[in-house]
Structure formats: structure tokens, C-alpha cells
């Protein structure tokens, strides 16, 4: 691997934009394919206007073994050879670039709109649509299987339950699903475009609502980007309180999902216990900052709310009681043959497929991939306190449930230790001014997996570009794979075992 074509930085660092090598497209493509073959994964791949007529594409390649991030770029021609046929994990990134900037990745096997909006460059459109034509979400050529006994099931965007919208097309032979295609974009609300020109009054709040269930995860990534650009190191106590908030978010969501999984197989005790217990962890977050999802807890430079010893004492008391109830509730799952029968061998994703598709987070770990930003690219308090990576090898619903349980155990131990020994320091310091013409990258292990934020500043230190990659962006296609050869009725269970974000994908 030629390192000369890359600039190497660590997680939570920045470098000058001019130092990111600009490689001719063919060489860019070649080196990207080589790096992925050598074990790197694409943390972000995006394009932005270099000037009025040219586009510059950037790639952030994450090397888990060395914990380094490799940055490279190229001037993107209007038509280029798609990466996806040789590198399936580029799939959605290429569709995103094509939709946003009207360029054509030639030979892309699944080139369709992603979020259903007009191109950001008026006269260019990947599908040659006119700017006056309305674009309707979900209207595209869906993958179809032909045959006399084939039928199609379409679900959404308004589907059962209190849930975000998406459109799902199942190609079925009897009850067996041959493939599921997922069409999103209904939640597209222009988050990334609104970030440009920031940071301003609203930037913090946009980041907190990228995915409401991952408020801490996304605001942590944002804060780390800002702090990298401002070369500010936050106080240790702030770092610890941030990590506690992040792990609480993981606990709340994992407990909630395990309850919902129990509900999906009709096992009501765990379903109803966990429904309440998820709320206990949200309430603990509210005990720290007043908001159940952690709004306004984090800010660039540290955190806004401290926990004195009385608060820590009360926190621990409620925390231990919740953890004890969670342990009882979740262990019922593993002891119930009817639950295990539904969990095991349902929705299997093979490790080879997971690697090739570039799946991240707990879904990847449930396929046996040992990857966790907290240990591979540690920042903040995770540099000093390790949480060992939880994996299981079966790739099925059980595996995704069980990895959640191991993570619950490890996060509880982590919070318990950390909150008892909070470092004595300030919780927030003033930021230095942000630096102009820089690129900064932050990776955070949110409860779903790797969150990546990339910011590029202009000459006035404002955001010239801001890229957000929610873990769901990497993982939605994995759900389609998990549904192959399953029954339609297994969909709710498989879907919940992935528990992906619609709004985090749609931005």
C-alpha cells in the first residue's frame, strides 16, 4: 500500500486540506480497492464542489489494526467507473454522490436514488431528470424476480407501529423471501446542507437530532470534530461524563431492543419488563442533564452538567436497581426454549458477506467481526479505560441479541467504575478559535456502531462541507441479506435485531 497517496491522521484529529493528496481518479480507485482488500473500511466517501465546475471526492479509510485514518481525494469526472462492483461497501456512498451531484458511476449495479431529492448542481442529474420534474419518494425501478409463482409484498412508508417511515419490497416465492429491497428517503430533511456555513446557533441542535435515539453519539462526534479544528483538549472530568452518557445511551437502546425482540416472538414477560427498564436508563440520563435523550448534555469544550457526590450517590442507587432488574428480565430469554427456537438460525448474515458489505457495529460483531471504535480508534476516556469488544459468531438474530447482552454487561461495569472515580477537574473549557482550511474526522462507537463526522473548513473557519455517516448507512443492506431465504413473517424480528435508523440514513 502506497502511503504517499494518503495523509494519515488519528481519530479526532485534523490536517490541512491542501495536505490531502489529490490523485487522478483511476489511481484513486485502484488504491481504494487495494486498501479495502487489505482490510481497511470506508468510514466516509463523499464529494464537494472544488470550484464552480469541478467536484472533489474525499475518502476516509479506517485501518482498524493500526487505529489510523487514511485520507485521500480525487477530482471526480462527470462519468467514472463505479467502485461498487469491485467493492460492495461503496454501494450507498456512490449512490449518494450520484444523487447529490449528478455524476454517473458507470457500471454501478444498483444505481437508483437514495433520498429522492434534486441534484445540488442545477444542470446535472444522474438520471437526466429535469429540475422542474417532481421527484416522488419510493418511485424507482425496484429489484424484481420474475416467475409464475413469484409474488411481491410491499410495505410502508406508513407501516404498523410507532415507527419511522421506509418502503420495503419483498420478492417472495410462497412464504419464502428471495430478496428484500429497502427504499428510504422519507425522512430526508436536509441536515448536512444546513450544516454548511456553520457552526451557528442551530448546529448543535441539528446534530442532536440526526438520530434522536443517538443524540449523545452524534453530538459526541460533532464535539470531537470541533475540538480537533480548534485544537482544544477537554478536561478529564468532561471526558468521563461524556463516556458515561454514551454508555447510558447504549444501555437504554440495547435494553429496549431486547424487550422489543422478546415482544416480536410473543414472549411478554421480558417485553414488558424491558419496556419500563429502557425508560430507567433514559431517566438516568435525564438525572444528569434534564433531558431523557441527552439534549444539551454535551457541548464543544466539554459538558454542560456536572454530577456532584450526592448526585452520583443517587445515580448509583437507581442504576444498580435497574441493572439488577435488567439482568433478571434478559436472562429469561436465554432460558426459554420457545424464544431461542425463534432467535437461532433466523436472519443469518455470513461473516464473508458482512465484511464485503462493510457492516459495522453490533451487527458486524454478531457476525464474528472484531471491530469497535472504542478499542480500535479510542478517544477521550476510552484511551485509558478499555471496554473489550463483544462478539458472537452465528450471525443470526440470537447473535445480535446476545452481543447486545454482553455489551450491556460491559457498559454497566464501565459506568459503575467510572462514575465512582470521576476525575477532579473542570467540566468545560473555552474553545480556541477554529482553524481555517482544515479537515477533521471523528469516529464514535454509537450504540448501533461507527458514527463518522467529517468537517472541512473554509478560509474563514466556517464549514465548507460537513459529512455525517450514521452506522445505519453501512448496515441497511445487511438487513436485505439477512432476509434472504427467510419467511415474510420473520421480517419484524430480523428488522428489530438490526434496529437501524431511518432518519440517520436519510439526514
Partner 1 sequence: MIDILRARLKQGHRTISFPNQPPTLPDRFRGCPVIDEAKCVSDCQRCAEVCPTGSIIQVHSTKPQVDLGRCLFCTDCAEACPNDAIRYHSDYSMSSNQRIDLVVNANTEAGPLVSALKKESLRLFGHSLKLRQVSAGGCNGCESDTNVLSTITFDLGRFGVQFVASPRHADGLLITGPVKENKRVALLKTWETVPAPKIVIAVGACAISGGPFQNHPEVHNGVSDILPVDLYIPGCPPHPITILDGILRLLSRI
Which residues on adjacent β-strands are paired with residue 150? 173
Name the residue nearer to partner 1 (CB basis): 85 or 165. Answer: 165
Question: According to CB under 8 A, which residues from 451 to 470 bind partner 1?
Answer: none
Contacting residues for 459 by C-beta, under 8 A, at least 6 apart: 436, 437
Residue in 49, 85, 198, 279 binding partner 1, rule: CB under 8 A: 279
The answer to whether residue 210 forms part of the interface with partner 1 (CB under 8 A) is yes
Q: Are 215 and 295 in contact (CB under 8 A)?
A: yes
Name the residue nearer to partner 1 (CB basis): 20 or 503. Answer: 503
Residue in 56, 104, 237, 295 binding partner 1, rule: CB under 8 A: 295
The answer to whether residue 501 forms part of the interface with partner 1 (CB under 8 A) is yes
- Over the window 159 to 198, marking each residue x when it contacts partner 1 by CB under 8 A and - when it does not, the resulting string is xxxxxxx-------------------xxxxxxx-xx----
Question: According to CB under 8 A, which residues from 304 to 323 bind partner 1?
Answer: 304-305
Q: How many CB atoms lie within 10 A of CB 334?
A: 13
Question: According to CB under 8 A, which residues from 239 to 278 bind partner 1?
Answer: 269, 272-273, 275-276, 278
- In the complex, what is the shortest distance from the CB of residue 191 to partner 1, in angstroms, rounded to a whole number? 8
CA distance 273 to 437: 51
- In the complex, what is the shortest distance from the CB of residue 290 to partner 1, in angstroms, rounded to a whole number? 3
Written as one string, the DSSP assignment of 342-379 is HHTTSS---HHHHHHHT--HHHHHTTT----HHHHS--
CA distance 6 to 59: 10
The answer to whether residue 496 forms part of the interface with partner 1 (CB under 8 A) is no
Name the residue nearer to partner 1 (CB basis): 54 or 338. Answer: 338
CA distance 94 to 131: 21
User: How many chain residues are in contact with partner 1, going by CB under 8 A?
Assistant: 64
- In the complex, what is the shortest distance from the CB of residue 212 to partner 1, in angstroms, rounded to a whole number? 3
DSSP 308: -
The answer to whether residue 503 forms part of the interface with partner 1 (CB under 8 A) is yes
Residue in 58, 80, 93, 116 binding partner 1, rule: CB under 8 A: 116
The answer to whether residue 115 forms part of the interface with partner 1 (CB under 8 A) is yes
Q: Are 181 and 143 in contact (CB under 8 A)?
A: yes
- In the complex, what is the shortest distance from the CB of residue 284 to partner 1, in angstroms, rounded to a whole number? 9
Tell me the CA distances in angstroms from 315 to 239, 244, 257, one per residue in order: 18, 12, 23
Residue in 11, 72, 84, 204 binding partner 1, rule: CB under 8 A: 204
- Greatest C-alpha distance within the chain: 71
The answer to whether residue 296 forms part of the interface with partner 1 (CB under 8 A) is yes
Alpha helices by DSSP H, listed for 55-131, are 91-101
CA distance 256 to 330: 11
Name the residue nearer to partner 1 (CB basis): 130 or 335. Answer: 335
Q: Are 396 and 343 in contact (CB under 8 A)?
A: yes
Edge-to-edge strands, sheet with 450-457: 13-16, 438-445, 450-457, 463-469
CA distance 35 to 103: 24
The answer to whether residue 291 forms part of the interface with partner 1 (CB under 8 A) is yes
Q: Are 478 and 363 in contact (CB under 8 A)?
A: yes
Question: According to CB under 8 A, which residues from 324 to 353 bind partner 1?
Answer: 325, 328-329, 331-332, 335
Cell numbers given for 463:
464549514
- In the complex, what is the shortest distance from the CB of residue 477 to partner 1, in angstroms, rounded to a whole number? 20
CA distance 473 to 101: 19
Residue in 201, 309, 424, 489 binding partner 1, rule: CB under 8 A: 201
Name the residue nearer to partner 1 (CB basis): 295 or 404. Answer: 295
Q: Give the residues lining the site for partner 1 (CB under 8 A).
A: 115-117, 136-137, 157-165, 185-191, 193-194, 201-202, 204-206, 208-213, 215, 269, 272-273, 275-276, 278-279, 283, 286-293, 295-296, 304-305, 325, 328-329, 331-332, 335, 501-503
Amino acid at each position: 500500500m502506497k502511503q504517499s497517496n494518503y495523509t494519515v491522521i488519528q481519530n479526532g484529529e485534523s490536517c490541512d486540506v491542501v495536505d490531502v493528496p489529490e490523485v487522478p481518479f483511476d489511481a484513486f480507485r485502484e488504491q481504494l480497492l487495494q486498501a479495502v482488500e487489505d482490510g481497511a473500511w470506508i468510514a466516509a466517501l463523499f464529494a464537494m464542489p472544488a470550484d464552480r465546475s469541478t467536484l472533489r471526492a474525499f475518502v476516509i479509510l479506517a485501518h482498524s489494526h493500526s487505529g489510523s485514518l487514511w485520507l485521500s481525494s480525487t477530482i471526480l469526472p462527470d462519468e467514472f467507473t463505479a467502485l461498487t462492483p469491485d467493492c460492495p461497501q461503496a454501494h450507498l456512498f456512490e449512490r449518494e454522490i450520484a444523487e447529490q451531484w449528478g455524476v454517473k458511476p458507470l457500471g454501478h449495479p444498483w444505481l437508483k436514488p437514495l433520498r429522492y431529492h434534486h441534484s445540488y448542481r442545477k444542470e446535472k442529474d444522474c438520471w437526466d431528470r429535469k429540475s422542474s420534474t417532481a421527484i416522488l419518494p419510493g418511485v424507482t425501478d425496484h429489484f424484481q424476480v420474475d416467475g409464475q409463482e413469484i409474488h411481491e409484498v410491499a410495505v410502508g412508508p406508513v407501516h404498523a407501529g410507532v415507527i419511522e417511515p421506509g418502503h420495503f419490497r419483498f420478492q417472495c416465492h410462497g412464504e419464502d423471501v428471495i430478496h428484500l429491497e429497502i427504499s428510504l428517503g422519507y425522512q430526508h430533511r436536509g441536515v448536512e446542507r444546513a450544516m454548511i456555513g456553520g457552526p451557528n446557533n442551530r448546529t448543535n441542535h441539528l446534530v442532536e437530532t440526526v438520530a434522536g435515539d443517538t443524540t449523545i453519539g452524534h453530538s459526541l462526534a460533532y464535539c470531537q470534530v470541533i475540538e480537533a479544528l480548534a485544537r482544544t483538549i477537554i478536561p478529564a472530568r468532561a471526558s468521563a461524563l461524556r463516556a458515561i452518557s454514551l454508555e447510558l445511551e447504549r444501555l437504554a437502546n440495547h435494553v429496549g431492543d431486547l424487550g422489543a425482540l422478546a415482544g416480536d416472538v410473543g414472549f411478554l414477560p421480558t417485553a414488558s419488563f424491558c419496556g419500563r427498564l429502557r425508560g430507567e436508563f433514559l431517566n438516568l440520563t435525564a438525572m444528569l442533564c434534564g433531558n431523557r435523550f441527552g439534549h444539551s448534555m454535551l457541548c464543544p469544550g466539554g459538558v454542560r452538567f456536572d454530577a456532584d457526590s450526592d448526585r452520583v450517590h443517587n445515580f448509583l442507587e437507581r442504576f444498580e436497581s435497574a441493572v439488577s432488574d435488567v439482568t433478571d428480565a434478559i436472562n429469561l430469554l436465554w432460558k426459554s426454549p420457545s424464544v431461542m427456537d425463534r432467535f437461532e438460525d433466523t436472519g443469518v448474515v455470513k461473516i464473508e458477506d458482512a465484511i464485503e458489505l462493510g457492516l459495522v457495529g453490533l451487527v458486524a460483531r454478531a457476525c464474528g467481526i472484531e471491530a469497535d471504535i472504542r478499542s480500535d480508534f479510542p478517544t477521550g476516556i476510552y484511551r485509558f479505560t478499555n471496554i473489550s469488544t463483544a462478539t458472537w459468531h452465528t450471525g443470526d438474530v440470537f447473535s445480535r441479541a446476545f452481543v447486545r447482552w454482553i455489551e450491556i454487561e460491559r457498559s454497566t461495569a464501565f459506568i459503575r467504575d467510572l462514575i465512582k472515580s470521576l476525575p477532579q477537574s473542570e467540566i468545560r473549557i473555552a474553545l480556541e478559535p477554529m482553524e481555517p482550511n482544515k479537515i477533521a474526522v471523528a469516529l464514535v462507537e454509537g450504540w448501533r456502531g461507527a458514527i463518522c463526522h467529517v468537517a472541512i473548513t473554509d478560509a474563514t473557519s466556517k464549514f465548507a462541507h460537513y459529512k455525517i455517516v450514521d452506522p445505519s448507512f453501512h448496515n441497511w443492506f445487511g438487513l436485505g441479506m439477512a432476509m434472504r431465504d427467510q419467511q415474510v413473517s420473520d421480517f419484524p424480528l430480523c428488522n428489530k435485531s438490526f434496529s437501524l435508523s431511518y432518519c440517520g440514513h436519510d439526514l
